[in-house]
Amino acid sequence: MDLRRPADEEFLHDLEHVLRASDLLQPFEADLDAVIDQRLARFDNDALKDSLRNYYRSGQGFEAISGEVLSNKVYDRIRAILSGEAPDLAELAALATAEDEEE
């Protein structure tokens, strides 16, 4: 008797974990700051940096940065699950709580 799950069933099971963890994968302010700082690093003009930082902190700029950070987190989580290196959801929840307390 073959006890292994078919690959598609295993993938759906792992995807379910990703979706349940999605609330825990939301972008934190530190995540957003890191992406914004990376984008602004190439500019020397402080006024331009301030203007772009404000753009990325509101409206469409914020949506773009938040979406990028969330996508990266989800892809990282999927890779970790598929490689067997994903932390348990309880560990992610503890990490999210710790990061919230720091803010």
Residue 72 falls inside a structural domain: yes
- Which band of pLDDT confidence, cut at 50, 70 and 90, is reported for residue 46? very high
Residue 97 has a pLDDT of 72
Residue 93 falls inside a structural domain: yes
Residue 55 falls inside a structural domain: yes
Residue 48 falls inside a structural domain: yes
Residue 13 falls inside a structural domain: no
Range of the domain at 68: 28-102
Number of domains present in the structure of the chain: 1
Residue 3 falls inside a structural domain: no
Measured CA to CA in angstroms, residue 46 lies from 51, 76, 79 at distances of: 9, 33, 38
Which residue do the tokens 């598609």 mark? 8
pLDDT tens, position by position, 72-103? 888 888 888 889 887 776 776 777 677 666 65
User: Measured at the alpha carbon of residue 53, what is the angle toward residues 99 and 23, in degrees to the nearest 5?
Assistant: 35
pLDDT(36) > 70: yes
Residue 44 falls inside a structural domain: yes
SS3 label, residue 65: helix
Rg (CA), the chain: 18
Residue 82 falls inside a structural domain: yes
pTM of this structure: 0.61
Query: How far is 83 from 91, CA to CA, in rounded Å?
Result: 17
